Amino acid sequence: MGKTLFEKIWESHVVVEKQNGPSLIYIDRHLVHEVTSPQAFDGLRMNKRKVRRPDLTIATMDHNVPTNDRSLPILDQTSAVQIQTLEKNCKDFGIKLFDINSPNQGIVHVIGPQLGITLPGTTIVCGDSHTSTHGAFGALALGIGTSEVEHVLTSQTLWLEKPKSFEIKVEGKRKNPHAVTAKDIVLSIIKNIGTGGGTGTVIEYRGQGITDLSMEQRMTIEAGSRAGLIEPDEKAFDYLRGRQYTPKNYESLVDNWKEHLKTDSDAKFEKQFTLNINNIAPQVSWGTNPGMTCDVTESIPSPDEFSKGDPNQKKGAEKALEYMDLEPGTPITDIKIDRVFIGSCTNARLEDLIEASKVIKEQKISTNVKAMVVPGSQMVKKQAEELGIDKIFINANFEWREAGCSMCLGMNPDILSPGERCASTSNRNFEGRQGTGGRTHLVSPVMAAAAAIKGHFVDVRELDLS
Amino acid sequence: MEPFKKVKSIITPLDQVNVDTDQIVPKQFLKLVHKSGFGKFLFYNWRYDKNENIKSDFVLNDSKYDNSKILVTGDNFGCGSSREHAVWALLDYGFSVIIAPSFADIFFSNCFKNGFLPISLDQKIVEKLQQELDIIEVDLETQTIKTSSEEISFKIDPYKKKILLEGLDDIAQTLQFEDKISKFERESKVPSVL
Q: Is residue B1 part of a domain?
A: no
**Average model confidence (pLDDT) across chain A:** 96
B159 close to A (CB below 8 A): yes
pLDDT tens-digit readout, A226-268? 999 999 999 999 999 999 999 999 999 999 999 999 999 999 9
Tell me the shortest Cα–Cα distance from A312 to chain B, in angstroms.
6
Q: Is residue B48 part of a domain?
A: yes
Identify the band that residue B1 occupies on the pLDDT scale cut at 50, 70 and 90.
Answer: confident
The residue among A368, A426, A425, A357 whose CA lies nearest residue A396 is A357
Q: What values do phi and psi take at B119, rounded to 5?
A: -120, 125
Split into its structural domains, chain B has a count of 1
Q: What is the dihedral of CA B120, B126, B132, B136, to 10 degrees?
A: -20
- A349 Cβ contact partners less than 8 Å away, ≥ 6 residues apart: A110, A216, A219, A376, A380
pLDDT tens-digit readout, A175-209? 999 999 999 999 999 999 999 999 999 999 999 99
Do the chains contact at B110 and A145, CB–CB below 8 Å?
A: yes
Q: Is residue B69 part of a domain?
A: yes
Rounded distance, CA A301 to CA A298, Å?
A: 8
Residues B160, B162, B167: CA angle, nearest 5 degrees: 100
What is the DSSP pairing of strand A57-60 with strand A96-98?
parallel
Residues B58-84, mean pLDDT to the nearest whole number: 97
Identify the band that residue A223 occupies on the pLDDT scale cut at 50, 70 and 90.
Answer: confident
Mutate to test the interface with B, among A25, A92, A115, A146 (most CBs of B within 10 A): A146
- A234 Cβ contact partners less than 8 Å away, ≥ 6 residues apart: none
Q: How many CB pairs under 8 A join A and B?
A: 194
Rounded distance, CA A344 to CA A434, Å?
A: 12
The residue among A252, A166, A155, A157 whose CA lies nearest residue A201 is A166
B15 close to A (CB below 8 A): yes
Edge-to-edge order in the sheet of strand B7-9? B7-9, B136-139, B144-146, B151-153
Amino acid at A230: I
Q: Is residue B120 part of a domain?
A: yes
Q: Is residue B106 part of a domain?
A: yes
Do the chains contact at B27 and A85, CB–CB below 8 Å?
A: no
pTM for this structure? 0.96
Q: Is residue B165 part of a domain?
A: yes
Q: Is residue B98 part of a domain?
A: yes
Residues of A within 8 A of B74 (CB-CB) are: 312
Q: Is residue B191 part of a domain?
A: no
Q: What is the pLDDT of residue B150?
A: 95
Percentage of residues of chain A with pLDDT beyond 70: 100
Here the ipTM equals 0.94
Do the chains contact at A128 and B82, CB–CB below 8 Å?
A: yes
What's the domain range around B32?
6-185
Do the chains contact at B81 and A428, CB–CB below 8 Å?
A: yes
Residues A399, A401, A407: CA angle, nearest 5 degrees: 90
Residues A207, A200, B157: CA angle, nearest 5 degrees: 150
Residues A381-406, mean pLDDT to the nearest whole number: 98
Helix (H), strand (E) at residue A355 = helix A350-360
Do the chains contact at B159 and A18, CB–CB below 8 Å?
A: yes
CATH number, domain with residue B65: 3.20.19.10
Tell me if A134 sits within 8 A of A250, measured CB to CB.
no
Residues of A within 8 A of B76 (CB-CB) are: 195-196, 199
Residues of B within 8 A of A16 (CB-CB) are: 177, 180
pLDDT tens-digit readout, A54-66? 999 999 999 999 9
Rounded distance, CA A98 to CA A439, Å?
A: 33
Residues A322-327, mean pLDDT to the nearest whole number: 98
Q: What is the pLDDT of residue A19?
A: 79
Residues 106-135 of B with CB under 8 A from A: 106-107, 109-110, 113-114
Q: Which of B81, B103, B169 sits opposite A129 (nearest CB)?
A: B81
Q: What is the pLDDT of residue A117?
A: 97
Tell me if A127 sits within 8 A of A143, measured CB to CB.
yes
